[in-house]
């Protein structure tokens, strides 16, 4: 197994470390690579698009050619995990903030995202959220300048809700989360994603 973490900007090393730990716990023989160029996406079993600044990540993905390649691989069934900014990029629609920044979305999940839905950096928070598909124990989620998902349609389904807001969506091989699952000791979401890559 070889997982590529898009490493142009954002919370990259945290995802790499958590994925390595999750592989170890699941006894998976594999590696995690920093995907900085098109070449780094060759022969990957799954891709993670981390949180960070969505406009910057989008622009650098376009410059490197990774934007088109990720869209192509996703449509062929390659598992993709997007977190925070990564979720914005996976969406078909963004709000006015997304449009004003000319952020190029991948448009892979039928959902509309609201950027910075909770406010600025100072409004960041943590919360215990219920994620039935990873078990009964609550997951401690970190929301940092987090978006929310306003709505989903067609084959995209709600995966997690918190306080009436959609904070996770799934469509086939793609999983989008508005929070940062890599900031903590709970490996269950990354383990879930790794299992998606072995199906």
Q: Tokens for 194?
A: 């790794």
| 23-51 burial: b if 16+ Cβ within 10 Å, else e | beeeebebebbebbeeebbeebbbbbbbb
Element (DSSP H or E) covering residue 132: none
Average pLDDT by stretches of 10, the chain with 199 residues: 92 93 95 94 94 88 92 94 93 78 88 74 79 95 87 95 93 95 93 91
Specify whether the CB–CB gap between 70 and 105 falls below 8 A.
Answer: no
Residue 145: its pLDDT value, please? 80
Catalytic residues: 84, 180, 182
d(CA 199, CA 189): 16
Residue 7: its pLDDT value, please? 93
Enumerate domains of the chain plus CATH numbers: 2-198 (3.40.50.880)
Beta strands at 174-177 and 80-83: parallel, antiparallel or unpaired: parallel
Residue 122: its pLDDT value, please? 46
Residue 99: its pLDDT value, please? 74
Residue 110: its pLDDT value, please? 97
């Amino acid at each position: 197994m070889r997982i590529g973490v898009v490493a142009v900007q954002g919370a990259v090393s945290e995802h790499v470390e958590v994925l390595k730990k999750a592989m170890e716990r699941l006894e998976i023989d594999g590696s995690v690579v920093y995907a900085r160029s098109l070449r780094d996406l060759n022969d990957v079993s799954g891709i993670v698009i981390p949180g960070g600044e969505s406009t910057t990540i989008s622009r650098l993905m376009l410059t490197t050619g990774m934007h088109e390649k990720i869209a192509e691989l996703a449509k062929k069934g390659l598992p993709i995990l997007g977190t925070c900014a990564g979720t914005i990029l996976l969406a078909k629609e963004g709000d006015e903030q997304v449009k004003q920044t000319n952020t190029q979305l991948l448009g892979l999940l039928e959902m509309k995202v609201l950027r910075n839905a909770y406010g600025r950096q100072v409004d960041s928070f943590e919360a215990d959220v219920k994620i039935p598909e990873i078990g009964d124990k609550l997951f401690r989620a970190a929301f940092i300048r987090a978006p929310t998902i306003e709505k989903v349609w067609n084959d995209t389904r709600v995966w997690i809700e918190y306080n009436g807001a959609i904070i996770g969506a799934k469509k086939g091989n793609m999983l989008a989360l508005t929070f940062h699952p890599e900031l903590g000791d709970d490996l269950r979401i990354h383990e879930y994603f790794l299992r998606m890559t072995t199906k």
